[in-house]
Chains A and B, each alone.
Chain A
Amino acid sequence: MNRIRRLLIPIAAGCLFLLFILPLFALTLRSLQTRAWEASSGSGVPEALILSLLTTSTSALLVLLTGTPLAYLLARHHFRFKQLVTVLVELPIVLPPAVAGLGLLIAFGRRGLFGPALENVGISLPFTTAAVIIAQIFVAAPFYVRAAQVGFQQLDMDIEDAARVDGAGGWTLFRLITLPLARRSLAAGLAVSWTRALGEFGATILFAGSLQGRTQTMPLLVYNVLERNINAAIWTGLLLVAMASLALFLARHLGKSEK
């Protein structure tokens, strides 16, 4: 009986781990068997790769610029409805991407809540590269904000206090003390957030549609060419897996050396 109990743990753990790795194994195996990389020419893979890199680097930059202040506010300040704000900021993490896309569409679409106002200033978002970036920010920023908030909270307040005693305050304190100290956790959070943006699919296909070179990022390409050119889909999938793995390794490395 004890032996069975001892075996249950590795068996249960092994089952779950197999579930994680078998799809990756199958993707790799099939791509080797069919030489999937040869199928990638003329199927839109290079265009999708370039578009994915362009949109995710833009969205990551915007997440950094807007997410850092938000995370700092949440980490350092207490205000009314802070719990509510925190929940709203984290909601996109668990929101079904199709809901996110639908929400973006009926908020910023041509017939959306703010569509007419945007149209008045000559902006039409749906089916544009900008829409891809907005969808990515919406789903990916919470990962950064959460990590950055924890990063700020973990800082030793004594250091900031000491700096304050020495006359630093406000922006100077943040720029010279807080930011350098928290930079590793910020970078780790940004890497995770970038990975999420790279894999973004549901909100993009609803809000931005799918068109080669303009809105068809790598995940959309996988879905779109699956029927026509399964090898191109597999190859793109493998590229995505590789890019995401690298980013996650980087995030772990940054997170570890922090301590």
Chain B
Amino acid sequence: MKPRHAIVLSIVVLQLVLVPVAAAQESQTLTIFAAASLTDVFQEMADRFVELNPAADIIFNFAGSSTLATQLIEGANADVFASANLKQIQAVVDAGRIIQPVSIFARNRLVVITPIDNPSSLSTLSDLARPGVKLILAAPGVPVRDYTDTMLQTLALDADYGSAYPEAVLLNLASEEDNVRQVVAKVALGEADAGIVYQSDVTPDLNDLIQTITIPDEVNVLAAYPIGIIENTPNPSFAKAFVDYALSEDGQAILMKWNFIGKCPASLNLSLTPPIQSTTQPASTSAPTGEPDPAFAGCPA
């Protein structure tokens, strides 16, 4: 290759690399990091949002909230972060990457799922502690696991289950997955006997593959989904428009359609050292049914 050609080639290559970056900034690409459990509902919201804002182009990164929080703390580029619990968004707030305030836009509750033929014949929560049941949960740190641990601790206080209950359930663990959708997938494949996921994870597509065992509200955990705008986003107006859309009547209707519980009138101001408690702590005096957590203010219990 002649040197001149090499230079021309380098320029062409450079342009190929740089031009899309410049173009992307003009065409208002909105990058949204969202909890895996939001996959279906956010995709539908995005379709509607783009209809309303044709200039917008939405790219998603769905994963366990804890993975997303780590990516954001390490400097990943995004415009909006929607987490499945407060702890993970708090970590990103603490890293100075989210504009206040953070709003709760959705709620969820836990269910037990089994393959459609329920090979271990599970029907109640106590059955989860039966030896030999193959249980799959999300890994520690993933919000659904934190909620599950909270629920197990609540059940341990109940005489019907007993203090040995959480340990007996965890002895049945076959695998700890990185996000809630992986738990759903392995149960749907029939490889495990049971998993604990959100009620919204049992999407219509899965009705032929999965059975759901509901968990009574007294012991269930009300999951809170906060959404926030990333600091220094190139598209602050679009990012805010998407957050507003998620909180709007339209957005809430889509959430309900996908089996979520709607938002509560709570707009949290997460301070840098907030009074939010880790949900992994054993529930003692501050059990979810006791003192109302500020995050749950005004919400149905």
Which of B14-22, B33-41, B136-144, B242-250 lies at the interface? B136-144
> Are A127 and B70 also in contact (CB < 8 A) when A8-B6, A209-B186, A227-B64 are?
no
> Are A210 and B189 also in contact (CB < 8 A) when A8-B6, A226-B70 are?
no
Do A227 and B190 touch (CB < 8 A)? no
Which of B156-164, B172-180, B266-274 lies at the interface? B172-180
- Name A209's closest neighbour in chain B (CB-CB): B175
Residues of A within 8 A of B134 (CB): 127
Q: How far is the CA of A215 from the CA of B7 in the complex (A)?
A: 51
Q: How far is the CA of A126 from the CA of B115 in the complex (A)?
A: 15
Do B6 and A209 touch (CB < 8 A)? no
Q: Is A224 an interface residue (CB 8 A)?
A: yes
Q: How far is the CA of A216 from the CA of B175 in the complex (A)?
A: 9
Residues of B within 8 A of A126 (CB): 174, 191
Residues of B within 8 A of A106 (CB): 189
Residues of B within 8 A of A211 (CB): 173-176
Closest Cβ of chain B to A208, distance in Å, is 8
Do B189 and A228 touch (CB < 8 A)? no
Q: Is B82 an interface residue (CB 8 A)?
A: no
Could you list some 28 contacts between A and B, CB below 8 A? A4-B3, A4-B6, A4-B7, A5-B6, A8-B3, A8-B6, A106-B189, A109-B191, A110-B190, A110-B191, A111-B189, A111-B191, A127-B134, A208-B175, A209-B136, A209-B186, A210-B175, A210-B176, A212-B176, A223-B178, A224-B139, A224-B176, A227-B67, A227-B69, A227-B70, A227-B141, A228-B140, A230-B70
Do A127 and B175 touch (CB < 8 A)? yes
Q: Is A105 an interface residue (CB 8 A)?
A: yes
Max chain A Cβ within 10 angstroms of own Cβ: one of B4, B136, B140, B191: B191
Q: How far is the CA of A212 from the CA of B174 in the complex (A)?
A: 10
Do A2 and B3 touch (CB < 8 A)? yes
Q: Is B66 an interface residue (CB 8 A)?
A: yes
The majority secondary structure among interface residues of chain A is: loop
Partner of B66, one of A205, A210, A228: A228
Known: A127-B175, A209-B177, A224-B139. 18 other contacts (CB 8 A): A1-B3, A2-B3, A5-B3, A8-B6, A111-B191, A126-B191, A127-B192, A209-B174, A209-B176, A210-B175, A216-B176, A223-B178, A226-B67, A226-B70, A227-B66, A227-B70, A227-B142, A228-B140
The list of the 3 closest CB pairs from A to B, nearest first, reads A209-B175, A227-B66, A111-B190
Q: How far is the CA of A109 from the CA of B188 in the complex (A)?
A: 12
- The total number of A-B Cβ pairs within 8 Å is 65
- Name B136's closest neighbour in chain A (CB-CB): A209
- Name A223's closest neighbour in chain B (CB-CB): B178
Q: How far is the CA of A110 from the CA of B193 in the complex (A)?
A: 11
Residues of A within 8 A of B175 (CB): 127, 208-211, 215
Residues of B within 8 A of A8 (CB): 3, 6
Q: How far is the CA of A5 from the CA of B4 in the complex (A)?
A: 9
Closest Cβ of chain B to A218, distance in Å, is 16
Do B186 and A210 touch (CB < 8 A)? no
Do A127 and B176 touch (CB < 8 A)? no
Closest Cβ of chain A to B96, distance in Å, is 17
Max chain A Cβ within 10 angstroms of own Cβ: one of B136, B139, B141: B139
Residues of A within 8 A of B176 (CB): 209-212, 216, 224
Q: A residues 1-45 with Cβ under 8 Å of B?
A: 1-2, 4-5, 8
Residues of A within 8 A of B177 (CB): 209-210
Closest Cβ of chain A to B286, distance in Å, is 22
Do B189 and A109 touch (CB < 8 A)? yes
Q: How far is the CA of A181 from the CA of B121 in the complex (A)?
A: 59
Do A1 and B4 touch (CB < 8 A)? yes
Q: How far is the CA of A5 from the CA of B175 in the complex (A)?
A: 55
Max chain A Cβ within 10 angstroms of own Cβ: one of B3, B4, B173: B3
- Name A233's closest neighbour in chain B (CB-CB): B70
Interface 0/1 of A212-225, CB less than 8 Å to B: 10011000000110
- Name A211's closest neighbour in chain B (CB-CB): B175
Closest Cβ of chain B to A32, distance in Å, is 18
Closest Cβ of chain B to A217, distance in Å, is 13
Closest Cβ of chain A to B36, distance in Å, is 13
Closest Cβ of chain A to B100, distance in Å, is 23
Q: How far is the CA of A227 from the CA of B3 in the complex (A)?
A: 48
Residues of B within 8 A of A209 (CB): 136, 174-177, 186
Interface 0/1 of B181-208, CB less than 8 Å to A: 0000010011110000000000000000
Residues of B within 8 A of A224 (CB): 139, 176, 178
Q: How far is the CA of A250 from the CA of B147 in the complex (A)?
A: 48
Closest Cβ of chain B to A64, distance in Å, is 29
Q: How far is the CA of A117 from the CA of B5 in the complex (A)?
A: 63
Q: How far is the CA of A208 from the CA of B136 in the complex (A)?
A: 12
Closest Cβ of chain B to A143, distance in Å, is 27
Closest Cβ of chain A to B4, distance in Å, is 7
Residues of B within 8 A of A215 (CB): 175
Max chain A Cβ within 10 angstroms of own Cβ: one of B64, B70, B134, B175: B175
Closest Cβ of chain B to A209, distance in Å, is 3
Q: B residues 65-95 with Cβ under 8 Å of A?
A: 66-67, 69-70
